[in-house]
Amino acid sequence: MSEKRLVVPQPIDAILDREHDMENQILAELATGARMMAGDNPALPKMPARPTILDFFRFRFRTIAVNHMLQSARNASKAGHDEKVVLACLLHDVALGGLIRGDHGYWGAQMIAPYVDEEVAWAVKHHQALRFFADPAVNYEYPQAYVRFWGPDYVIPDYIKRDYEAARAHRWYGSARAITLYDLYSFEDDVHIDPEEFEDVVGRHFKQPEEGLGLDNSPAAHMWRTIIWPTNFL
């Protein structure tokens, strides 16, 4: 009989538990012979030995994020955008898909920066701020979902306003704005897309590390490793 492996919520998910009550209850099971989770969690699909970015779509990112990012990329492609914009749409929610919600555009940009053109990472970062500001020139309106989420009196944080103003004057504004446009209109429940549809675009514009994404030595590799083994204790 295999040992029981214990999974403790990551600190960001347990930050309201200031006294570590939940963690201490789990750790108490070590006295019964259980061990902490390390490496592959059998509750998750096993990743390939040398994971590619599309393997994260297949085996790690949550379904709603996968469907959304694939639809976003397809819609950008159908609208005639160049492949860098299509790739940015494909990757814009990678952090939200498997790592963290808050400031996911900033996190996502850091995750992909070592592997993509600077414009792609810039666009992913700045879609975070642009989402909150309408642009009638491209028929982008403030999302009604945000009114449901935060109410009609929500005050946009100053850092978001700052980054919006900077992005608005930047030469790559159109690339980041395109993400927001296909972010808003890419939530069709009955549309399912195979990630392989973007194999060629990824092959041309994503620098896949030979060792496998997350197993290389880039400044962002640890973020991808965290998604490969998201339930590691330490």
The predicted-structure confidence for 89-139, as pLDDT tens digits, reads as follows 999 999 999 999 999 999 999 999 999 999 999 999 999 999 999 999 999
Determine which of 6-15, 43-52, 192-201 has the lowest per-residue pLDDT on average: 6-15
Rounded Cα distance, 7 and 71, in Å: 33
152-187: pLDDT as tens digits: 999 999 999 999 999 999 999 999 999 999 987 767
Residue 230, pLDDT > 60, answer yes
d(CA 67, CA 193): 7
Q: For the residues 8-12, what does the mean pLDDT come to?
A: 90
Percentage of the chain with pLDDT > 90? 88
Query: What pLDDT score was predicted for residue 59?
Result: 98
> What integer best gives the mean pLDDT of the chain?
94
What's the CA gap between 223 and 114, in Å, rounded? 12
Q: Show me where the domains of the chain are located.
A: 5-36, 53-223
Tell me the CATH class for 53-223.
Answer: mainly alpha
pLDDT of residue 184: 74
How far is Cα 93 from Cα 104, in angstroms, rounded to an integer?
7
pLDDT at 61 > cutoff 80: yes
Read off the pTM. 0.93
Q: What tens digit of pLDDT does each residue of 200-223 get?
A: 999 999 999 999 999 999 999 999
